[in-house]
Amino acid sequence: MDKALTGIRVVDLTNNQAGPSCGQMLAWLGADVIKVEEPGKGDVARYSQRDRPDADALFFLSFNANKRSLTLNLKHPRGQEVFRTLLKTADVLLENFGPGVIDRLGFGYAAAREINPRLVYASIKGFGSYGPYRDYKSYEPIAQAMGGAMSVTGFPDGPPTFTWPSIGDSGTGMHCVIGILAALMQRHATGEGQQVEVSMQDAVVNLIRVSLRDHQRFGHAMERTGNQLGAGVPGTTYRCRPGGPNDYVFIFVQQQMWHPLLRAIGRDDLIGDARYETQEARWHHKTEVDTLVDDWTSKRSKHDAMKILADAGVPCGACLDTGEVLTDPHLLAREMIVEVEHPARGRYVTVGNPVKLSASPTTIGPSPLLGQHRNEILAELGYTDAQIRGLAAEGAI
């Protein structure tokens, strides 16, 4: 079965997470994503945080599934020649080099457009290619700090806090996917490609727009509120049995859910009690309400508490730890946690595609070994076996 992006070729020059996560999503959707890597070295993620010496790191495997790998020396004249040939066949070029690097290699947007006017040229940068910070480098925590996310994360008596969900890296990657797909759609009308740029800071700012809205509503910088969600009560985490570090549930109750909550926890006697009957009243008696709910949840496991409240129509989520996520029956049923066979590692568990297309289901494959598809891709570009051997002997591939 053809996939949604069958026929689209993506040349992926990216390393680490932000760019590779973008390329992986395009590959999951059916694009032919060719990961171009430095010979003998490859993406730094292959060996950073490596958990075993005979295989690529799980970090690399997490962001490079379904791709093909071509080793190419972009500093070698013959390697650059091969790269130009590859670009002529490409629909998308994806890069996340540091400021100015790809221009010095001779493949900035203007040069790439000369090679292939239909090319969608996608760049992920820490701060973008213009603006006062354009020459600054960035990583995930820096993007969260500069995008404002850290300032609103954590508890009131603690410092600004980094959050582990990668809103700066993978969040930027998903924004870039949207830009690439939009540019490909526009190309249908114009016949020409264009440049797509997403900065990590910009992506984080987009993701904290609610906090920015609240700044304008209240006229001051937003404070850290821990797990409390707005003025909703109940609207935070509550303890569960047996009392481990992740034995909590998050409960959030809007006005129409208050009575169902009381019935579910066996406190029908409080229905109609003026102290708790409205959201404003519950906020004024927040400590009492939180204690009331906590007394009930603390006598139950988080999964039992979640099921009872969810069955009553009350939003409640168990705080799953990473092991529970990897074995969660709902995620397994939705193929969000899948097993993949890798030529070096054997079978391993990884994350599936969160985007579900009815006519284009995703099959999750392994990430490529370094240079695994080199000869195959070069043959597709018209190079003979003898020419490939010559390029290898010169150090171009």
Active site residues: 169
Instruction: Classify burial at 297, counting beta carbons within 10 Å of its beta carbon; exposed 0-12, middle 13-18, buried 19 or more.
Output: buried
CA distance 259 to 253: 10
CA distance 254 to 10: 46
Furthest CA-CA distance within the chain? 86
C-beta separation of 186 from 194 below 8 A? yes
CA distance 397 to 394: 8
Which amino acid, residue 251? I
Count of C-beta atoms within a 10 Å radius of residue 187: 16
CA distance 370 to 38: 9
- In this structure, is the dihedral angle defined by the CA atoms of residues 289, 295, 300 and 302, taken in order, positive or negative? positive
Residue 158 in tokens: 């603690």
